[in-house]
Amino acid sequence: MTNIPDIQERIKTDFGVQAQEAFEHINAGVASARHLNDPRIIRCIIFLADRDIKKLTILIDSAKIDPRDIIMWAEYIQSGPGDQTTRVRDFSKTFDQSETDVRE
Domain count of the chain? Answer: 1
Residue 51 included in any domain? yes
Residue 100 included in any domain? no
Higher local confidence (pLDDT), 6 or 79: 6
48 contacts 79 by C-beta, under 8 angstroms: no
Residue 96 included in any domain? no
Rounded-to-integer distance, Cα 19 and Cα 69, Å: 24
The proportion of the chain whose per-residue pLDDT surpasses 90, expressed as a percent, equals: 81
Q: What is the pLDDT of residue 9?
A: 96
Vertex 11, ends 14 and 46: CA angle to 5°?
Answer: 80
Q: What is the pLDDT of residue 84?
A: 84
Residue 103 included in any domain? no
User: Closest Cα partner for 63 from 82, 91, 92, 42?
Assistant: 42
Residue 33 included in any domain? yes
Residue 61 included in any domain? yes
Residue 67 included in any domain? yes
pTM of the entire predicted model: 0.92
Cα 57 vs. chain centroid, distance in angstroms? 11
Q: What is the pLDDT of residue 1?
A: 59
Angstrom distances, CA of residue 31 to CA of 6, 37, 68, 76, 85:
20, 8, 19, 27, 32
Rounded-to-integer distance, Cα 30 and Cα 101, Å: 29
**Mean pLDDT, residues 8-29 taken together:** 97
Q: What is the pLDDT of residues 34-63, one digit of tens each?
A: 999 999 999 999 999 999 999 999 999 999
Q: What is the pLDDT of residues 87-103, one digit of tens each?
A: 999 999 999 999 887 77
Q: What is the pLDDT of residue 2?
A: 67
